[in-house]
Amino acid sequence: MMPAEAASSGGGSEPPGAPRERRRRRGRARARTEALLHTLKRSRRVKANDRERNRMHHLNAALDELRSVLPTFPDDTKLTKIETLRFAYNYIWALSETLRLAEQCLPPPPTFRGAAAPPSPGSDAGSWLSSASPSAPSLCASASAPSSPATSEDCAYAPAESLRAFRGLPAASAAPGASCR
C-alpha cells in the first residue's frame, strides 16, 4: 500500500496541478480508511449478533429445562415462555405451600382426619386453581407478594390441562383454605 503523502515529499518546485493531485490522493486514502472502518464495524456487529444469538439459545435451553421439570401436559402442548415462567412460579408456590402445611400437620394428632381424603376429581383440586374462588390461588402468576401467587388480574394462563397436573398434590395444598384441624 502506498502512503497517502508519499508524493508530497521533496518540496522545491512543484509542477502545476500538484496540489490537486495531493487532494485527490488524500481523498482516496480517506475513503480507504472509511471503508476499513466500515468493515471493522461490520465484523464487530456480526460477531455481536452471533454472541447474542448464542445467548438467546442458552436462555431458551434453560427455559426448556424448566419446562421439562414442570408437570407435563399432553405431549404436543408446549408452554410459551411467559406461561412457563408463570407456571413455574405458581408450581413452586404450591410445592412450598404443601411443605408448609405438611410440617404444620406433623405429627398428626390421633383424631386427625384433615387431609386424608383426596379431592374429588373435578371439584376441589380443580377449583382451587380457578380464580373464581377467593381463597384459591390459580396457575397464573402475579408479580405481587409470594404469599399470594396469583390473582385474577394478570391471570393470563390457567389451562384446563394444568388442573390435572395438580390433582396429584396432597389435599392440604389442593385446598389452601383448609387447615390441619
Summarize as ranges the residues that interact with DNA (CB under 7 A). 44-53, 55-57, 60, 80-82
Residue 3 C-alpha cell reads as 502512503
Task: Please give the Cα distance from 40 to 16 (Å, whole number).
Answer: 38
- Name which of 63 and 102 has its Cβ closer to DNA: 63
Rounded Cα gap, residues 57 and 62, in angstroms:
9
Supply the minimum distance, in Å, between the C-beta of residue 145 and DNA. 22
Q: Which residues contact 133 (CB under 8 A, 6 or more apart)?
A: 127
CA-CA-CA-CA torsion sign (146, 148, 154, 159): positive
Residue among 70 and 178 whose Cβ is closer to DNA: 70
Nearest to 111 by CA among 180, 24, 40: 180
Whole-number minimum distance, CB 135 to DNA, in Å? 28
Cβ proximity to DNA, 74 vs 110, nearer residue: 74
Q: How far is the CB of 157 from DNA (least distance, A)?
A: 8
Nearest residue to 78 (alpha-carbon basis) of 137, 165, 163, 70: 70
Nearest approach, Cβ of 39 to DNA (angstroms)? 13
Q: Which of residues 32 and 81 has its CB atom nearest to DNA in the complex?
A: 81
18/40 with CB nearer DNA: 40
* C-alpha–C-alpha distance, residues 112 and 178, integer Å: 13
Task: State in angstroms the smallest separation of the CB of 75 from DNA.
Answer: 15
